[in-house]
Chains A and B, each alone.
Chain A
Amino acid sequence: QKEVEQNSGPLSVPEGAIASLNCTYSDRGSQSFFWYRQYSGKSPELIMFIYSNGDKEDGRFTAQLNKASQYVSLLIRDSQPSDSATYLCAVHQTGANNLFFGTGTRLTVIP
């Protein structure tokens, strides 16, 4: 079992819709969770992080964490074509120095 799993997609949504990206992780003791956006040919950039159960909102982005279900998600409201990218979920496991990354979900927002 991989430490962090994401649906590779591609996920296509129409402009203005809500995009929902999901991620599950295996280490129950994980404490920190991150979402990165990566445009084609570019490096990943951090867009959200969440440490506590529940929702965290930042503009059009909402991160949701459910530690009991070992599940973290990213919602993008009012999706724009500029949101088209690969979204990487990353988890910091207890005792580790490095993050564990999922393989990413490719999102396409259709104008």
Chain B
Amino acid sequence: DVKVTQSSRYLVKRTGEKVFLECVQDMDHENMFWYRQDPGLGLRLIYFSYDVKMKEKGDIPEGYSVSREKKERFSLILESASTNQTSMYLCASSKESNGYTFGSGTRLTVV
């Protein structure tokens, strides 16, 4: 069964910490995405990547960075976590213009 795996289901971090969210897919997909989802705001695109070492800003990149050193892995980095980054973070991958496969999500709480 093909999968997108996010390393943590729940995370609690302190304000100011550097936070790494990892995502791995086993489908050889070119495209990978990071979204956050908040009640009433829907899915908001943070960053995406369409190839190794390539990245594009989404709608809300401020306070985040990403890394894609290998095709199967796409990491989201919160440089200095803040309470307004408390959210559900969803990773997804896709091949060309096909639909996404989502990971199970990471619920991050910043205290």
- On A, residues with C-beta under 8 Å from B are 31-32, 34, 42-46, 49, 88, 90, 92, 97-99, 101-104
Q: How large is the interface on B (under 10, 10 to 19, 20 to 34, 35 or more residues)?
A: 20 to 34
Chain B residues closer than 8 Å to A45, beta-carbon distance: 102
Are B41's CB and A98's CB within 8 A? Answer: no
Asked if B101 CB lies within 8 Å of chain A CBs, one says yes
B26 to chain A, nearest CB (A): 16
A2–B41 CA distance with the chains assembled, in angstroms: 12
Q: A49 and B99: CB pair below 8 A? A: yes
Instruction: Check A103–B104 contact: CB distance below 8 A.
Output: no
- What residues of chain A lie closer than 8 Å to B105, measured between beta carbons? 42-43
Report A-chain residues with C-beta under 8 Å of the C-beta of B31: 97-98
Partner of A103, one of B33, B42, B45, B100: B42
Residue among A43, A88, A101 facing the most chain B CB atoms (10 A cut-off): A43
Q: How far is the CA of A30 from the CA of B40 in the complex (A)?
A: 25
Interchain CB contact under 8 A, B42 and A101: yes
* Alpha-carbon distance A46/B102, docked complex (angstroms): 9
Contact with A along B41-58 (1 / 0, CB 8 A): 111010010100000101
Known: A98-B33, A103-B42. A42 touches B104 (CB 8 A): yes
